[in-house]
Amino acid sequence: MLFIHVTVPAHTAAVEFVDGTPVRVLESGRHRRARRATYREVDLREQLLSVSPQEILTVDGVQVRVSAAVRWTVADPIAWLERAADPLGLVYLATQVALRDAVAGLTLDSVSQRGAGLDAATLTAAVDATARPLGISVLEVVVKDVILPTEVRAATLELATARARGAAQLESARAETAALRSLANGAKLLDDHPALARMRLVQSAPFGTQLVIKLGDEAANDA
């Protein structure tokens, strides 16, 4: 049998087929091969599968739209090439089903905060169980967006606006109360100290009026 060499690029594996049957997986590097053999390269780098938003009913009957992303890599090159005609399509479907099962058991409040109620580990395990026989390792399933109905978004905005308006009114009332308390303390201080009251009156009056008030006070003192 006559041999030549085949070079497998970095981050890649090559599946060797002899007479149409997969025989072995070659890692990156230079390998000897038979002329009868054919090779198919498989990218082993981490990749991303985006799952478009799908409409799901929560346990309280509100319809939300949820999207996700799946981090995955090929774990078994032969299974990746041989088990399914469209392995990523099956992983996509498994992700949709896992999201539907997870959201269907939660209330709207649980999923409204970017899927805060969804357990990423549970989602990942569910999708990985389907992906493993296809030669795929699912590293993580990430919930990207949770889109609420227009009516719910409007109600949420109205509630946030009302809270902000109430907080502003409360702060204004606190400032007004502090100002009145300061005025009351000042008035009491002036009542207790008449000389201070006259001094305050002189300071607040125009210059000509200040002179008249000062002369009147001096005359009163002389008398």
Do 175 and 199 lie in one domain? The reply is: no
Do 127 and 104 lie in one domain? The reply is: yes
- Model pTM greater than 0.75? no
Phi, psi of 8 (to 5 degrees): -100, 125
Do 64 and 114 lie in one domain? The reply is: yes
> How do beta strands 3-8 and 63-74 pair?
unpaired
pLDDT for position 210: 47
Which residue range is the domain that position 187 belongs to?
150-191
CB burial string 72-95: b at 16+ within 10 A, e below: bebbbbbbbbeebeebbebbbebb
Give yes or no for a contact between 117 and 111, defined as CB atoms under 8 angstroms apart. yes
Domain edge (last residue) among 117, 148, 179: 148
Q: Which CATH number do you get for residue 106?
A: 3.30.479.30
Do 95 and 171 lie in one domain? The reply is: no
pLDDT in tens, the chain (223 residues): 455 888 999 999 999 999 889 999 999 999 988 778 999 999 999 999 999 999 888 887 788 888 999 999 999 999 999 999 999 999 999 999 999 998 887 877 777 665 555 788 999 999 999 999 999 999 999 988 887 765 665 555 565 566 666 776 777 777 778 777 777 776 776 677 676 666 666 566 565 554 444 545 554 455 5
Residue 25 structure tokens: 């997986």
Do 156 and 200 lie in one domain? The reply is: no
Do 65 and 93 lie in one domain? The reply is: yes
Do 59 and 144 lie in one domain? The reply is: yes
Alpha-carbon distance of 24 to 171, in angstroms, equals: 74
Domain edge (last residue) among 91, 118, 148: 148
Do 71 and 164 lie in one domain? The reply is: no
Do 129 and 202 lie in one domain? The reply is: no
pLDDT for position 216: 52
Do 57 and 67 lie in one domain? The reply is: yes
Give yes or no for a contact between 60 and 107, defined as CB atoms under 8 angstroms apart. yes
Do 107 and 62 lie in one domain? The reply is: yes
pLDDT for position 221: 52
Give yes or no for a contact between 73 and 11, defined as CB atoms under 8 angstroms apart. no
The domain tally of the chain equals: 4
Do 66 and 118 lie in one domain? The reply is: yes
